[in-house]
Structure 1
Amino acid sequence: MAWQSIPVPRLEGVSQEQFTQQLYPQRKPLVLEGIDLGACTSKWTVDYLSQVGGEKAVKVHVAAVAQMDFISKNFLYRTLPFDKLVQRAAEEKHEEFFISEVMDNFLIQVTGKKRVVLFSPRDAQYLYLSGTKSEVLNIDSPDLAKYPLFSKARRYECSLKAGDVLFIPALWFHNIISEEFGVGVNVFWKHLPSECYDKTDTYGNKDPTAASRAAQILDRALKTLSELPEEYRDFYARRMVLHIQDKAYSKNFE
């Protein structure tokens, strides 16, 4: 099946003021071109990074396949010398399955090339989620017998080359495929007031505190329904779903 993708807009020469005041409030992915990242875009080669990093020990995920699955955990943690890690990464194609985060993110492509596919948080219902992660690993050739709703999710796609900066708004799901060895740097920041976040969450991997409380309340409500016979549980659970759809979704959600 050939997938149709919506190209992520690319803009060159965007000033900080223009991004902050005009583009950032739109809450949509955007590739920024022509930003001066300095000498790193040409200097950070395999040899240079191996020399600078030396034999410093680094803990990494190691998997037998390119698509690592953080739900079934088809990988191991290993400690490798930094220079060996860089050399190994240069020889392997890597793909990150798609995930969402609660912080905004700049993905800065310093060297190399990546293909990035993104999905709107409004299409979460089609992504077969387990927490913030999707069960669908192969997004270019998914098992539609197992994941039939996935075909309804709208794909946004872009290619990143050295010097490109991709803005990934919070909650947007993203799948990253390395097309050649390169170095990418992520910069995360909080879009909401600081009190909305879990104070122990450094990298934006946990739900906002209000969302966590709501999930706990829902779990308690479902546990209460378990006191009823199956026919009643089913009926009132469906009413709860309809109530959430009616009350919680914004009017312009669709």
Structure 2
Amino acid sequence: MDLQRKSPVAVHGNVDKETFLREIYPLRKPAVLKGIHLGTCTSKWTVDYLSTTGGSQEVKIHVASVPQMNFINKNFIYRTLPFDVLVKRAAEETHTEYFISEDEKYYLRSLGVDQRKDIADITKQFPSLAKDISIPEFFEKNQFFSSVFRISSLGLQLWTHYDVMDNLLIQVTGRKRVVLFSPQDAPYLYLTGDKSEVLDIDTPDLGKYPQFAKAQCYECQLDPGDVLYIPDPLWKISEPLATILFLALWFHNTVAKEFGVGVNVFWKHLPADCYDKTDTYGNKDPLAASRAMQILDRALKTLEELPDEYRDFYARRMVLRIQSKSYSNHYK
């Protein structure tokens, strides 16, 4: 990628809730937060401690023979392992026991007991570890959605995607590289749903994905104890009409520079009825957005009834009508 199109993520030190809400949150841009008290997890969560304290309950994991996991082609398999065994394997570079290959990569994204109905909550799935971490209270308690426990093998790269809730990525151990893209650059990311088809963001195939060269990326490294704030949709309610305006989304891609453990905390910052009540992962589009996309799909299907030149003409008119709304002004 053109180095001129890379920018660093802003870094802030010793941020409290008041500072976050007053100076960082309104900008709707990613920010690395340093010097936040996270409890004893940053010193305690060694491989030995995690494997002995975290328990031996079965956990569902992603296993891949290559570091670059992607959800579009699903180049990984799902397997289950006892948690203590997973920790030890994920910390190894070469395995004596494995599913695919001796250098396979592991990724844990914790789930609720019943992933169809229950959200991930570290206090419920890993209570013995939860007591070690102090989650920054940058949101009201009734806004809490989930706290996702994550473990990554060295070198593991996760596909570029967006979430639908604001969240804090707490890097407890290990270093992680994070690359983010503004929602304004969505047209250049070749999206399939909430995921980008461009898997190699550092040396992309510009013959296949020429528009990706236009994307501006923001990059940071998370060290142990760092917290990354990732803004997602912001809806602004203006009185008295309660008009809801869509403001921001951020795509992100992560690479584990070392064996790493983290906790992702998501919270609901939209009115409750905006969310899909069946969403346990926190990644389903808001209900209004889903309805709009369904309507658009039906409209495009209807255009197929026309001859090519008519279909092209009216599709362009639809694009112009959307652009005339100037939603992009709200990103400024």
Same topology, TM > 0.5? yes
Residue of structure 2 aligned with 1:234, choices 312, 328, 332: 312
Aligned 1:15-30 pairs, distance under 5 A: 15-30=16-31
Could you tell me which runs of 5 or more consecutive residues in structure 1 were left unpaired when the two chains were aligned. none
Tell whether the 8 Å contact from 1:105 to 1:168 is kept in structure 2 after alignment. Answer: yes
Which residue identity is paired with 2:76? F
- Does the CA contact (< 8 Å) of 2:45 and 2:173 recur in 1? yes
Alpha-carbon distance in structure 1 between the residues aligned to 2:175 and 2:331:
34
Q: In structure 1, give the amino acid aligned to 2:228.
A: L
- Given candidates 169, 175, 185, the residue that maps to 2:253 is 175
Pairwise CA distance, 1:205: 1.1
Distance 1:50 1:200, change over 3 A: same
Are 1:152 and 2:230 counterparts? no
**How many percent of aligned residue pairs carry the same amino acid?**
69
Task: Kindly provide the amino acid, as one letter, of the partner of residue 39 in structure 2.
Answer: G
Task: Write the deviation string for residues 51-70 of structure 1: whole angstroms up to 9, x where unpaired.
Answer: 12343211111111111110
Structure 1 residues 51 and 253: CA distance shift in structure 2, 3 A? closer
Cα displacement string for residues 29-58 of structure 1 (whole angstroms, at most 9, x for unaligned residues): 011111111211011011111112343211
For residue 101 of structure 1, the aligned residue among 141, 148, 163 is: 163
Q: State TM-score, norm by structure 1.
A: 0.95
* TM-score, normalising length: structure 2: 0.73
**Could you list the per-position Cα deviations for residues 192-239 of structure 1 after superposition, in whole angstroms to 9, with x for gaps in the alignment?**
111111111133211111111111111121122122122211211111
Match of 1:165 in 2: 227
Which amino acid letter does the alignment assign opposite residue 191 of structure 1? H
Preserved contact between residue 3 and residue 140 of structure 1 (Cα < 8 Å): no
Q: What is the RMSD of the two structures over their aligned residues, measured on CA atoms?
A: 1.5
Match of 1:198 among 262, 266, 276: 276
1:1-254 to 2 correspondences below 5 Å: 2-4=2-4, 5-91=6-92, 92-170=154-232, 171-247=249-325, 249-251=327-329
> Where does structure 1 differ by over 3 angstroms across 4 or more consecutive aligned residues?
250-254
Tell me the residue number matched to 2:237.
none
Taking a change above 3 Å as real, the CA distance of residues 200 and 252 of structure 1, as seen in their structure-2 partners, is closer
C-alpha distance in 2 between matches for 1:162 and 1:102: 26
Query: Which has the higher mean CA deviation after the structures are superposed, 190-199 or 101-110?
Result: 190-199
C-alpha displacement of 1:9:
0.9
Number of residue equivalences = 254
* C-alpha distance in 1 between matches for 2:306 and 2:67: 46
> Offset of 1:3 from its aligned partner?
2.7
The structural deviation recorded for 1:247 is 2.2
Shift of 1:21: 2.1
TM-aligned CA distance change 1:223 to 1:2, over 3 Å:
closer
Partner of 2:100: none
